[in-house]
Structure 1
C-alpha cells in the first residue's frame, strides 16, 4: 500500500509538470494552428541557462533570467523563422515541419554544450524529503505540485479575464473572423509563443530536480511525453491538457512502479505507456477527452 501511495504522489507531481509543458503545446496551437515540435529543445535551453547562471545569480535570479530568455527565444523563432515573409507566408502544416528542423538544430547545439555532464540547477529543495503519514515524499515533488498549481491557475485566469485571453479564444474559434473583428493576431500569436517558452523553462527545473540526477542532454526528450497529454485532452483545450497530463503522469508512474508485474510487456513499457494511453483514448474519443467535433462547409 505504501508503494502504491508513493507511486500515486509521484504520478501527480509528474502530471503537474507535464501540464506546464502540455499547456505550451495548446496555447501555440490555439493561436497559430502549429504543433511545436521544438518545445523539448526550448525546455532544455531554459534548464541549461538556469544551470549556467545559478552560481552567479542564485536560483531565483537564474530561473527568472532563464524564463525570460526562453520566452524571448520562442518569440524570436516564431517571428523570424516561422512567419518569415508575413503571417500567411507558410501554412500551419509547413510551419509545423519547420519546428522539427528548429528542434534538431537547438538540440544538437545544446547536446554539444552539455556533453555527458549532469548539471545541477541549484534548486533550494535538494534531496530533502518530507514524511506524509506512511509515505516519504521528495520536497521537489511537493514544490512541483504547488508551483504548477499556482502557475496553471494564473494561466487560466489569463485566458479568462484578460483582453489577450479573449483574443486568443476568438482566434482559436476562427482566425479570419477574429481578424475582421479587430483582433491583432500577430500580438496574440507572439504572446502564445512567449508564454509557452516561459512554461517550458519552468518545467525544466522540476524535471531535473531530485530524484532525477540533474539536467542532461536527453532531458528535453521528456517533454515529448507531454505531447500525448495535449492530444488526448483535446489539442485546443487547456482544461483537457491539464486532465490529460494528470492521466499520463499517473499512468507512467504506476507502470514504472509495477514494472516487475508487467514484465510480459517489456522492460521499456513505461517509456511508451503515455502513447499507449493516448491511442486507447483516441479510439474511444477521436477528438480527445475535451475536444469537440468541427464542422466543415462543403
Structure 2
C-alpha cells in the first residue's frame, strides 16, 4: 500500500495537483494583497484630502497675499479679505518713513515693522507649501496617482502655478510688469518676498513637478476652460517649455518612483501640449477663439481627420458662442 502511495506521489498526476494547488494559493495571495493595497490607497487618499481641507483657510489667505484682497477666484470671508487689505495698507503706510532721508531711526524702525508684519504671514504660507510638497512626494513615488492627486487638490492648484512658485520662493513677487516695464512697484511688492523662504531647493523641485502633472491631468480630462488649455498648449509647444517640463518630471520621478513611473508621467505631460479632442469640445465646452488643429491629439498620419472634426465642430457651434463675462476666465498660469 505504501509503495502504491509513493508511486502515485512520484507520478505526473500528483505533480499536476500540487502545481494547481500552488497556483490557486498564489492567486488567492495576490487577490488578498490587491485588496489590502486598495484599502491602504483609499485610506491614504482620505487622509490627504482631510489634511488639505483643513488647510483651505491658509490656502485662501496665501492667494489673497499674492493676488490682492480683491482677487475674485478665492472662496473666503469678507473679514479675511479685510484683514489682508489692512495688512497691505499698513505696509504701504510705512513707506513714507522708509523713504525719509532725514531721520535714519524712523526709516530703520519702519523697515523692521514691515518685516515683522510680513514674517507673521510666513506660517500660513509654509504650512501650504509643506503640504503640497508632501503631496508631490506621494505623487512622484507612486503612492498617489495623478487622478487621485487631481481629485484631492482639484484644478485650483494646477491653475495657480505662479502663486505656488512665489510661495515656495522659486520666483519673486514682482518680476516686472509686462504691460508697463517702467512702472515702479509698490512698497508691498518690494517687501512681499519677506513672507517666503527660498532655500528649500528639493522641495521646490517637487512642487514644480506637482503643478506640471496636475496641469497635464486637467488638460487630459478637460477640467479647465478650453481657451486656457489651448493658450497654454500653444505656449508650451512654441517656446519649448513643454519639453523642459517633461524632462524635469521624468528625472525627478525616476529618482523617487523608478523608470516605469517616470515614463508614465512623461507621457501624461504630453496632454498639456497636445490636447485630447474631448477635453476641448466635450460636453458643453466651447472655445471662444479660433482653434489650432495642430494642438489636438491625432494618431500618426491622421491629422487631417482631426482638422476636419475641428472645422466641422467650430462651424456648427459658431452661432452658439457668446463672449465671456468680464472676470470669468483666468489667465494662463503655466510655464
Give the TM-score normalised by the residue count of structure 1: 0.25
Q: Which has the higher contact order (CA 8 A, sep 6+)?
A: 1
- Rg larger in 1 or in 2? 2
